[in-house]
Amino acid sequence: MKTELSGSHAGGSITETSAADAVNDIVMAGNKSKGGRPYFLEDPAVERVLNISMAIAADLAVLHERLDTIERLLEAKGHLKRAEIEAYVPDDAAAEERQAWHARFSARILRIVQQEVEAVANPENNVPMRTIADEINEM
Amino acid sequence: MSYQLPPVWTKLQQHAVFPEFNHDERARYNFLANLNRFVSTVIAPGNKLAYDRRVEPNFKKEHGRGFADRFEVGEAMKQDPVYQMWAALRRSTMEMRQQNGRAVVLRQAKQLASKVAEELKGSDSLQLNDDFRVPPYLTHVDNHLMPGSYHTEYFPGDVSNAANYDSGLFVTSGGMLGSLTDGGGRAIAAWVKETYPDFHPTRILDIGCGLGHNTLPIAQAFPEAEVIGIDAGAPMLRYGAARAHALGIQNVKFIQADAANMNEFTDESFDWVQTTMFLHETGGKSIHTIFGEIKRVLKNGGLNLHIEQPQYTPQMSMYEQFMRDWDAYYNAEPYWGHMHDLEPADLMVEAGVPKDKFMQVGVKAINDLDKKKQDGKVTEDYGRSPIWNVFGGWKSAGK
């Protein structure tokens, strides 16, 4: 796999004549089109995060469709019935493990919000790092 | 469920030169089609609500008058959070669609080029011009945010951008154009046959044919005619010729030519000259040269038709003009706005059609997919709905 931006058409050349093997599909798939990119939200940083979130949402949907395929194939081959999945009730130990997974998942995706709350709760822990650096220099 | 689901991507008819899609790549397009549907039917109507309930009233309160033009509407809408989020999402879906499609075709670019070359072996349906100069209005922009647009080849014989276009238009249009994305061509062919049953063209020119989505239905509807599609993009023509061959359509040729200088064709050599969603991708000066060339190559008494989006007229609300203009700036079709400000009857005069012979009708895509997926109300999705304006006329019989 080549890592340089081979084949990127940035620079305005009309025709790329690099060999087919030099096509860097991973990078070129996301090449920017010509013209300045518009940002619609007041803060471009928010729009940047929105775009990353939508790409992750896309692949969550892809994963869901893949799981659905697996379930249907397993059912077709007689390995399970999807109704069993719908009716599945975990025993106490499994339920506990699953709830803990959900809790950790929630904590992962809301980490930044949790930390903002902690910042409000503990104002003494919000000293700018430059100040701390100067303080430590005196310690 | 009253919510109208878009058809799954696998309804798109595959042919011998179609790129191979794996499971997740197909799922990615299914997600995008559904995301587009949700954004256009649930979120986009919020724009009109915001406009009616606060954007326009606030503007009137502040300025003591209404909006003067669509650009003022745009400046005011840009401040509204509903519009901001809708626009940010729509732009995001377009960029994702490009990246997803490109990821599929670029990883198999070499194989696609070989498949196309194999399909075209022994065929004379493709004519490329090594000295061809791509018109500046095409090299200046990447139409529809397609990096490299229609003309870029990443290596000799490449068809990547065409294969990407072929696979993804179904997603952008929510499958509303049918299993071969040819709803526009089918509509115009059916309309011409029904309206002019005695018209038997023997030579038809489709200008800006791309990969021939809308050229092939015309060739199928008029099997006695020789149909010629011209385009500037070699990858599109290559892929289009191979696709037509793979679909078993014989009476069509794909020729690399500049619409503004069609010296490949002699005067008065076509019975029918067609363009489909092409004019808004030209340029402000070239469009007039193109109409002059249409006049030259069209036979006296011949038919000239153009499928486009509706023109902006004083009767069209400024809000609608603004919404239709969105694609011009944010989906990289910058001539769209200026083109739709032109008076089509004037353009047709340039093509040799007198004003009293000018005609204009609305057509809706003919979609061969599941009836349930296309009947019923279509939510207006300015510039994306499968409903178009057709204008044109018959060239004067005498000189």
Average pLDDT over residues A25-41: 93
Put simply, whether A129 touches B (Cβ < 8 Å) is: no
Domains of chain B plus CATH, in order, are: 9-123+153-169 (no CATH), 175-394 (3.40.50.150)
Structure confidence at residue B378 (pLDDT): 56
Q: Which of A15, A50, A65 sits opposite B30 (nearest CB)?
A: A65
Are the C-beta atoms of residues B231 and B150 closer than 8 Å to each other? Answer: yes
Q: What is the pTM of this model?
A: 0.88
| pLDDT above 90 for A113 | no
Q: Which residues of A touch B330 (CB under 8 A)?
A: 38
Q: How many CB pairs under 8 A join A and B?
A: 129
> Is B154's pLDDT higher than 90?
yes
What is the pLDDT at residue B339?
Answer: 93
* Mean pLDDT on A57-70: 96
Q: Is the pLDDT of residue A6 over 70?
A: no
- Would the pLDDT of B147 be above 70? yes
- pLDDT one-digit tens code per residue, B251-262: 999 999 999 999
Question: To probe the interface with B, which of A8, A50, A62 has the most B CB atoms within 10 Å?
Answer: A62
pLDDT of residue B399: 53
* pLDDT, mean over chain A: 84
Distance (Å, whole) CA A37 – CA A39:
7
Q: What per-residue confidence (pLDDT) applies to A20?
A: 83
Cβ of A41 and B92 within 8 Å? no
Average pLDDT, chain B: 93
What pLDDT was estimated at residue A14? 36
Q: Are B233 and B151 in contact (CB under 8 A)?
A: yes
Distance from CA of A79 to the nearest CA of B (A): 21
Tokens of residue B51, six digits = 């406009």
pLDDT at B11: 87
Does the beta carbon of A7 lie under 8 angstroms from any beta carbon of chain B? Answer: yes
Q: How far is B236 from chain A (nearest CA, A)?
A: 14
Give the mean model confidence (pLDDT) for residues B185-191.
Answer: 94
Cα-Cα-Cα-Cα dihedral sign, residues B87, B73, B320, B348: negative
How far is residue B2 from each of residues B33, B177, B372, B373, B376, measured CA to CA in Å?
Answer: 18, 21, 11, 12, 11
What average pLDDT does the segment B320-338 reach? 92
Comparison of pLDDT for A23 and B275, the residue scoring more:
B275
Give ipTM to 2 decimals: 0.80
> Is it the case that residue A50 has pLDDT exceeding 50?
yes
Q: Is B280:B336 a contact under the CB 8 Å cutoff?
A: yes
